[in-house]
Structures are given as structure tokens and as C-alpha cells.
């Protein structure tokens, strides 16, 4: 159930929170400076539109979509909301510039480049086309480089996040970056599940926050009931990074809930390494074999409901997902928690 409050939250607390979020909200064109994290198979038209309609800012996860498929998804989202939303593009996509063109042709206001530093041509194409560009910055030096390259805003995402992660926690990234980057809005992400945490980062200088895991169990999310149940049952310690057995065969860290697939991945790595050492596989073939283990696994879990062998990508905030509820209710809870904390602090409580 929603947090029980001893007394109503003063309107002044909401006004003060709005002031802290003003820069980020104005940049997004949203009521609240809360972005929906782009989660493949989950962040599609229904959830994206629901978040934007709730006063947050939804973001379509393009993932491996081809241009025609992305155009279809954007049009369908526009049919569900009149509010702004963004599109997240993976920088390694072979048709990145074509995807940018699709976004521009559809009038998408914000393009988020993820998965690496965006090529200069794609970033320039997006900006020249009138879109605002958001990039991920995993370190202060890269944050400055991205700003020089033309990024209009940054997201700093800690290792607490779900899916592909970097090595540094948001707590550290925030201290490293927020005091030194004022030129553009900076949004924080990774492990955020309550409004009090959003408030803390706003007071450190963040323009807003990005949340993904918290929205997986939104009523509007098309994630399979089995996938949602896994999130509701999960705790922070269940969401762990994938393990690499041999440094000769690097594994990109992915944070997900442990399941039978996680155990099988460990055994698969061990078997592939054995075959390599026995001369049955080349190093390149062995690396590809390891990388292909999870191919299609996220879709199997999210869409088909195979939570035993699919990939249950989740952030450590999964323990704060306790039930299925409408996106608007989740957003209202987050804002209420932040405002209540702000009110209590100002009253000296």
C-alpha cells in the first residue's frame, strides 16, 4: 500500500520540490523531471505513453529495431499521448543515422544515445534536426567531452542499475560529477526507487532522475505476469552482475535477478573454456559462443514469461517494487515521498 502519512504534505513542499526540478522539467518539457529508463521489450508505446501522460517523461527503447519498426513504434506512442517523449538509440546500431532520421521525421523532441560515445555525425545530425540530445557519462572526463561534442544533457548511471552496467556506483558518480558540471542538466540513474533518494540527488545538483526497474510492474507495462511476479518477489541482493570466469573471455557485466539461466551461464562458460583449452575451439569462436548464450533471453523472459531460463534484467531497487500499480500512481508516490521528506526537513523533524 502507499506510504501512510501522518499529516497532509504542505503545498509549499511541493512548490519547493518543483523549484528543485525546474531545470530538468523544463528541459524535458514534462511536469516532473523523472525519465523512464529505456528497457528493451518493456519501454514500448504503452508504458512510454503512460509515463508521459502521468507527468514524467517516457523513453522508447529502440534496441535492435530497424528504422521502419521504430517509425511504427513512435507513431503508435504519439497516438497514445500528446505529451513529449524520447527515443533511446544504441550507438553501436549499424543503422544509427537512419534511426536518427526516423526520430527527426516524426518530430521526436529528445534523442538519448546509449551504449557508448555517440559518433559525431549522428550527434550533429540529431541536433541539426532540432532534437535535444541526451548522453550517458560514466566519468567526469567523459562528461566534459560529451558537453564539448554538443550533448544537451547527461545521464550518470551507477552500477546499481539493471541491464548493462559500469563499475562505479551512483553514490560515487554523483560526488564526482554533480559539483563540477553545471553547463547542462545532469540526470541521475541506478538503484533509485523512492522519492527521498530523488530529493537527495536534486539537492546535490542533479536536474532530475531516471528510473527503470520501478516502472516494470506498472499496470501499463506489457511485461509478462511471470516477469512482474519475479520483480515483486525479488530483493536487492537477488539482482547481481553476471560473472566472468576467465579474463581471456570478457563478459560485459549485466545486472539481473538470479535464476536457472544464471547458473547455466556459469556452466556454459566453463564448458566453452574447457573446449578452447582442448583445442576444439578457436579463441574467437569461444568468445562468440559465450556472447551468444543470452541471445533472445530478455525477450523470452519479458514477453514469453520464461523466468527460469530468460534474462531477468533488474536494478537493485527491485526490492522496492512491491506490487503492480498504474504508472501515474507510481509517479505520484515518488513525488509525494520527496515532498514529504522536504517538508519534514524544513520543519526540523
pLDDT score recorded for residue 66: 97
Q: What is the mean pLDDT of residues 266-290?
A: 94
pLDDT at 56 over 70: yes
Q: What is the pLDDT of residue 2?
A: 46
Task: Give 163-212 pLDDT, tens digit per residue.
Answer: 999 999 999 999 999 999 999 999 999 999 999 999 999 999 999 999 99
pLDDT tens for each residue of 5-48: 457 999 999 999 999 999 999 999 999 999 999 999 999 999 99
Rounded Cα distance between 321 and 231, Å, is 7
Q: For 306-340, write each residue's pLDDT tens digit.
A: 999 999 999 999 999 999 999 999 999 999 999 99
Rounded alpha-carbon distances, angstroms, from residue 79 to 34, 85, 117, 230: 22, 12, 32, 31
Q: Residue 224 and residue 231: Cα distance in Å, rounded?
A: 11
The pLDDT value given to residue 6: 57
- What pLDDT is stored for residue 347 in this prediction? 76
pLDDT above 90 coverage of the chain, percent: 95
Residue 349: the pLDDT is 52
Report pLDDT for 67.
98
Side-by-side strand order, sheet with 132-136 = 34-36, 208-211, 186-189, 153-157, 132-136, 110-114, 86-90, 59-61
Residue 3: band (very low, low, confident or very high) from pLDDT cuts 50, 70, 90:
low
- HEC profile of 105-169: HCCCCEEEEECCCCCHHHHHHHHHCCCEEEEECCCHHHHHHHHHHCCCEEEEECCCCCEECCCCC
What is the residue extent of each domain of the chain? 11-223+321-343, 235-313
What CATH homologous superfamily does 11-223+321-343 map to? Aldolase class I (3.20.20.70)
pLDDT bracket for residue 231 (50, 70, 90): very high
Amino acid at each position: 500500500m502507499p506510504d501512510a502519512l501522518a499529516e497532509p504534505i504542505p503545498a509549499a513542499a511541493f512548490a519547493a520540490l518543483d523549484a528543485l526540478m525546474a531545470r530538468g522539467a523544463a528541459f524535458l518539457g514534462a511536469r516532473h523531471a523523472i525519465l523512464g529508463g529505456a528497457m528493451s521489450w518493456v519501454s514500448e508505446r504503452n508504458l512510454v505513453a503512460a509515463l508521459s501522460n502521468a507527468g514524467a517523461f517516457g523513453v522508447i527503447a529502440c534496441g535492435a529495431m530497424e528504422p521502419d519498426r521504430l517509425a511504427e513504434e513512435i507513431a503508435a506512442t504519439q497516438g497514445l499521448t500528446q505529451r513529449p517523449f524520447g527515443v533511446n538509440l544504441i550507438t553501436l546500431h549499424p543503422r544509427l543515422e537512419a534511426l536518427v532520421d526516423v526520430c527527426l521525421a516524426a518530430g521526436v523532441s529528445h534523442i538519448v544515445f546509449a551504449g557508448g560515445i555517440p559518433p559525431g555525425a549522428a550527434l550533429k545530425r540529431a541536433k541539426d534536426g532540432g532534437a535535444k540530445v541526451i548522453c550517458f557519462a560514466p566519468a567526469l572526463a567523459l562528461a566534459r567531452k560529451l558537453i564539448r561534442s554538443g550533448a544537451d544533457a547527461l545521464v550518470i548511471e551507477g552500477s546499481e542499475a539493471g541491464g548493462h552496467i559500469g563499475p562505479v556506483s551512483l553514490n560515487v558518480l554523483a560526488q564526482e560529477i554533480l559539483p563540477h558540471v553545471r553547463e547542462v542538466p545532469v540526470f541521475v540513474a541506478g538503484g533509485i526507487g523512492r522519492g527521498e533518494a530523488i530529493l537527495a540527488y536534486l539537492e546535490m545538483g542533479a536536474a532530475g532522475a531516471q528510473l527503470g526497474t520501478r516502472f516494470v510492474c506498472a499496470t501499463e507495462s506489457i511485461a509478462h505476469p511471470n516477469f512482474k511476479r519475479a520483480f515483486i518477489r525479488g530483493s536487492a541482493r537477488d539482482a547481481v552482475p553476471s560473472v566472468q570466469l576467465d579474463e581471456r573471455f570478457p563478459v560485459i557485466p549485466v545486472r539481473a535477478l538470479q535464476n536457472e539461466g544464471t547458473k547455466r551461464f556459469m556452466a556454459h562458460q566453463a564448458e566453452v573454456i574447457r573446449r578452447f583449452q582442448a583445442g576444439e575451439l578457436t579463441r574467437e569462436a569461444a568468445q562468440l559462443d559465450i556472447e551468444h548464450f543470452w541471445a533472445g533471453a530478455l525477450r523470452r523472459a519479458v514477453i514469453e514469461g520464461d523466468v527460469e531460463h530468460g534474462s531477468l534484467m533488474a536494478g537493485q531497487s527491485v526490492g522496492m517494487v512491491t506490487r503492480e500499480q498504474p504508472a501515474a500512481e507510481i509517479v505520484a508516490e515518488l513525488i509525494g515521498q520527496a515532498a514529504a521528506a522536504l517538508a519534514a526537513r524544513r520543519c526540523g523533524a
